[in-house]
Amino acid sequence: MVDQDPTALRKVYFDAWQKTLQNLPLTPMEAIISDIIKRHPEYQPIFSDPENFNDLQNEKFALDHNPFFHLGLHVTIAEQVGANRPLGIRPLYQRLLKKYGDQNQAEHKMMECLARILVDSFQQSNSVNEKRYLEAIRRLL
């Protein structure tokens, strides 16, 4: 799910949750987003009331408390696992699920690794080092 326009990207999240609340059919990506929002009740009020989101936009979310960044990392993990890219991430994910016994906890651990790798690559103006990313995930096991 790649979109450079934050407003358009945020709309995807709002639309997915609104469709969920109305029991409307979801696209595969909307189903992923809906599942993630279901696992995050703290974010549900935000996505349940898109009309009031303009008030929220004026708030500066800390990166670790930004619902869009957080959910975006979950979506990234879901896409990576679904495609098994980087190669080998799917079996690592399955092992983490067994270790933690909780999908959210396993994904949050992976997201910490992903966020660190993304920050490092951004600061060093490099592409994401998939090998280091997978090594970081392996250390969680």
Summarised one tens digit per residue, pLDDT across range 49-75 is 877 765 555 455 555 578 888 999 999
pLDDT digits (tens, 9 = 90+) for 74-96: 999 999 999 999 999 999 999 99
Domain parsing of the chain, residue ranges:
1-71, 84-141
Among 38, 46, 55, CA closest to 103? 38
Tell me the C-alpha distance between 72 and 110, whole Å: 13
